Structure 1
Amino acid sequence: MAGGISVHAVDVARGVPAQGMRVELFALRDGGRALLAEGVLGANGALDHPVTAGQGVTAGAFEAVFHIGDYQRAAGVAVGSPAFLEEVPFRFTVTDVDQHYHLPLKFTPWGFSLFRGA
């Protein structure tokens, strides 16, 4: 896959893709945030949105926000309100719009790992 930004989340504590987790993707420009994409993750834990094919992606800074607390409460995980991890932001920079930027999130109620995947 060339170009675009994709997100994928796995609930490693329960061993399942994070189906139903809400994710927002913002372009960070001129000191503000502009919403580029939003939605809930599908059965495979991935966001199905045109941004994955490059729509609206330009060089610059971005922020993905994963709504982990809401997801865990909806899944019946006893995390309280607010949860230890309510929202997890991930800021990154696109330097080459011809490359694909895959953002896998692996998480539990108490920690997470985010990185640029293949």
Structure 2
Amino acid sequence: MGRLTTHVLDTANGTPGAEIEITLFRHTSAGLIPITRSLTNQDGRTDSPLLEDSDMEPGKYQLQFNTAQYFIRQGIQLDDIPFLDDVVIRFGINDSDAHYHVPLLVSPYSFSTYRGS
């Protein structure tokens, strides 16, 4: 069966993004439905997949990473209204048997992502 995983890399400091809160949502006709909330470990990864097995359903999803709080804990001075407070990545799952890996590379002023393996 398939699974959804993620990890966070702090590109400003060259380290894993540890203790970043991540919320996974599913897009439905009724709006965004929260599925799970996780915290990254010291390696910048979640301890278990965000979705797996029978929970892996085709559809539209959204990952929300609370990055501003992470950078504040790192001692980085952010504006009162941070440029990147929460980073949101919207993506689709078509194959419920596949591994979808959605990494986040982030700094206080930029981010990127890709479909990893």
Q: Judge same fold: TM > 0.5, yes or no.
A: yes
Task: Please say if residues 5 and 49 of structure 2, whose CA atoms lie closer than 8 Å, have aligned partners that are also in contact.
Answer: no
Give the corresponding residue for 2:92: 93
- List aligned pairs for 1:95-110, cutoff 5 A: 95-110=94-109
1:63 matches 2:62: yes
- List aligned pairs for 1:35-46, cutoff 5 A: 35-46=34-45
Task: Please say if residues 23 and 64 of structure 1, whose CA atoms lie closer than 8 Å, have aligned partners that are also in contact.
Answer: yes
Deviation at 1:53, TM superposition (A): 3.3
CA distance in 1, matches of 2:2, 2:19: 25
Q: Can you give the 5+ residue segments of structure 2 that lack an aligned partner in the other structure?
A: none
1:4-31: per-residue Cα shift (whole Å, max 9, x none)? Answer: 1111000011111000111100011114
CA distance in 1, matches of 2:57, 2:21: 23
Amino acid at match of 2:35: L
Give the 3-state SS of the residue equivalent to 2:78 in structure 1: coil
- List aligned pairs for 1:1-118, cutoff 5 A: 3-54=2-53, 56-118=55-117
1:45-82: per-residue Cα shift (whole Å, max 9, x none)? Answer: 01123534345221000000011111111121111332
Give the 3-state SS of the residue equivalent to 1:78 in structure 2: coil
CA distance in 1, matches of 2:16, 2:35: 23
Say how many residue pairs are matched.
Answer: 117
Q: Can you give the 5+ residue segments of structure 1 that lack an aligned partner in the other structure?
A: none
Amino acid at match of 1:112: F
Give the 3-state SS of the residue equivalent to 1:71 in structure 2: helix
